[in-house]
C-alpha cells in the first residue's frame, strides 16, 4: 500500500480540537504537506481504535495531540507497522518529546517536525500484568493485560501519585499536581519485593516503589534513570526504599543532583524484568493508572517504533 496523508489523534479534554485543526492545516499548507485529518478520542477509546483506523486508511504518519496517555495509545498501535508517530504538545508532561529533545510548547513548531521531519527508531517497553505462563517469555502478544510504554512504568508509590493527581489541578499547575498527590503517600507502608533481571538471581527487599524506564528524564530537570537510553535495547529499573521523610528528601536530592545510587535508591538494567510484590500494588504505564497486581513482567522490544524528530 502506498501511504500518504496525515492523521492527528486529538484528546478533546486536553486540547481545543477545532483551534488545533486550524493551526495544523496552516502548517501543512506552508510545508506543502497533505491536509491533516483530525480525529478525536472518546471516553471509551483514548486513541487505540482511531490509530488502527488511520493505519488501515493508509496514513503515512499518525500524530498524537493530548497528554502522555494519548501518546501511549497511539504509539502502542503503531508498534511494528513502520508508520511513524508524530508528537504534538498538549498535556502536562510531554515526556516522550522531552526525552527525544523535541518541541515541548509550540504546536506550530512541533507540527512542522511531525509533518516533514526524519524518522528515528526507538525501543518500546511492555508491561504484562499478572502474566500467564505463556506470557513469561518472548515479546507478549496483544491481550487485555498487556500494555506498552515508551517512557516509564511504575509500581507502588509512583502509581499512587499518578492516581491521586486531580485532573483539574494538573491543568492549572502542571507537574506540581503530582508533587501534591505524592505527599499523601510518603508514609504509606512499604511492600515486599522480589526483583529478577534477565532471569538472574532474585533480589528480595522491602520497598515503596519500583520504576522501570525506557528513558530517564522527567519534568523539572529530574533524571531518575541517568543511564537509560531510548534505543539501547535495555530497560532501566530503580527501586526506591526510604524508611523516613529524611530519606525521602535524600532520594530527591540524589536524583536532582544526578548522583549515583545510595541509601534507599538502587538502580540496574536488563531486557526482561520481573517484579513480584506483596501485598498487591497499583501499577501505571506512562502515567496511565491500570490496576493492582501481584506479579508484573517488563520486557523491551528493541527498535519497535518510528518517531518523527527534527534534523
Residue 168: CB partners within 8 Å, gap ≥ 6?
Answer: none
What is the pLDDT confidence band of residue 77, given thresholds at 50, 70 and 90?
A: very high
3-state secondary structure of 8: strand
The set of cell numbers assigned to 206 is 522491602
Residue pair 53/77 in contact by the 8 Å Cβ criterion: no
pLDDT at 224 (0 to 100): 82
When pLDDT is averaged across residues 264-280 and rounded to a whole number, the result is 94
pLDDT at 173 (0 to 100): 37
What is 36-103 written as a DSSP string?
A: PEEEE--SS-SSHHHHHHHHHTT-SEEEEEESHHHHHHHHHHHTTT-PPEEEEE-SS--HHHHHTT--
Q: Among 179-193, 256-270, 285-299, whose mean pLDDT is lowest? A: 179-193
Q: Please report, for the chain, the start and end positions of each structural domain, with discontinuous segments joined by +.
A: 6-116, 124-302
pLDDT at 266 (0 to 100): 87
Q: Among 93-97, 203-207, 248-252, whose mean pLDDT is lowest? A: 248-252
Who wins on pLDDT, 260 or 274? Answer: 274
When pLDDT is averaged across residues 232-244 and rounded to a whole number, the result is 88
Q: Please tell me the class of the 6-116 domain.
A: alpha beta
279 prior amide bond cis, ω within 30: yes
pLDDT at 171 (0 to 100): 47
pLDDT at 262 (0 to 100): 65
Q: Among 5-14, 214-223, 232-241, 253-262, whose mean pLDDT is lowest? A: 253-262
pLDDT of 121 > 80? The answer is yes
3-state secondary structure of 126: strand
The set of cell numbers assigned to 165 is 493527581
Who wins on pLDDT, 295 or 182? Answer: 295
pLDDT at 258 (0 to 100): 64
When pLDDT is averaged across residues 112-122 and rounded to a whole number, the result is 96
pLDDT of 303 > 80? The answer is yes
Q: Please tell me the class of the 124-302 domain.
A: mainly beta
Do 6-116 and 124-302 share a fold?
A: no
What is the pLDDT confidence band of residue 158, given thresholds at 50, 70 and 90?
A: confident
pLDDT at 129 (0 to 100): 98
- The chain-wide mean pLDDT, for the chain, equals 88
pLDDT at 172 (0 to 100): 41
pLDDT of 268 > 50? The answer is yes
Buried b (16+ CB within 10 A) or exposed e, 219-233: eeeebbbeebbbeee
What is the pLDDT confidence band of residue 170, given thresholds at 50, 70 and 90?
A: very low
Amino acid at each position: 500500500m502506498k501511504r500518504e496523508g496525515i492523521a492527528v489523534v486529538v484528546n478533546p479534554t486536553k486540547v481545543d480540537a477545532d483551534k488545533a485543526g486550524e493551526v495544523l492545516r496552516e502548517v501543512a499548507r506552508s510545508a506543502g504537506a497533505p491536509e491533516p485529518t483530525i480525529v478525536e478520542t472518546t471516553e471509551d477509546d483514548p486513541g487505540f481504535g482511531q490509530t488502527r483506523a488511520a493505519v488501515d486508511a493508509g496514513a503515512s504518519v499518525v500524530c498524537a495531540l493530548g497528554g502522555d496517555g494519548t501518546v501511549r495509545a497511539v504509539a502502542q498501535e503503531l508498534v511494528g507497522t513502520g508508520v511513524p508517530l508524530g508528537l504534538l504538545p498538549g498535556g502536562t508532561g510531554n515526556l516522550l518529546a522531552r526525552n527525544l529533545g523535541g518541541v515541548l510548547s509550540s504546536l506550530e513548531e512541533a507540527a512542522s517536525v511531525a509533518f516533514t521531519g526524519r524518522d528515528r527508531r526507538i525501543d518500546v517497553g511492555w508491561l504484562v500484568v499478572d502474566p500467564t505462563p505463556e506470557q513469561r517469555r518472548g515479546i507478549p502478544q496483544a491481550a487485555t493485560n498487556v500494555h506498552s510504554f515508551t517512557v516509564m512504568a511504575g509500581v507502588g508509590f509512583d502509581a499512587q501519585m499518578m492516581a491521586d493527581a486531580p485532573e483539574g489541578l494538573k491543568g492549572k499547575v502542571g507537574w506540581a499536581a503530582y508533587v501534591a498527590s505524592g505527599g499523601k503517600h510518603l508514609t504509606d507502608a512499604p511492600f515486599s519485593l522480589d526483583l529478577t533481571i534477565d532471569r538472574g538471581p532474585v533480589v528480595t527487599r522491602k520497598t515503596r516503589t519500583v520504576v522501570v524506564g525506557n528513558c530517564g528524564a522527567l519534568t523539572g530537570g529530574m533524571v531518575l534513570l541517568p543511564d537509560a537510553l531510548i534505543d539501547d535495547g535495555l530497560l532501566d529499573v530503580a527501586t526506591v526504599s526510604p524508611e523516613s521523610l529524611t530519606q525521602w528528601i535524600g532520594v530527591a536530592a540524589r536524583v536532582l543532583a544526578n548522583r549515583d545510587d545510595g541509601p534507599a535508591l538502587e538502580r540496574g538494567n536488563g531486557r526482561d524484568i520481573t517484579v513480584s510484590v506483596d501485598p498487591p500494588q497499583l501499577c501505571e504505564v506512562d502515567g496511565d493508572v491500570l490496576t493492582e497486581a501481584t506479579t508484573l513482567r517488563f520486557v523491551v522490544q528493541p527498535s519497535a517504533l518510528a518517531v518523527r524528530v527534527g534534523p
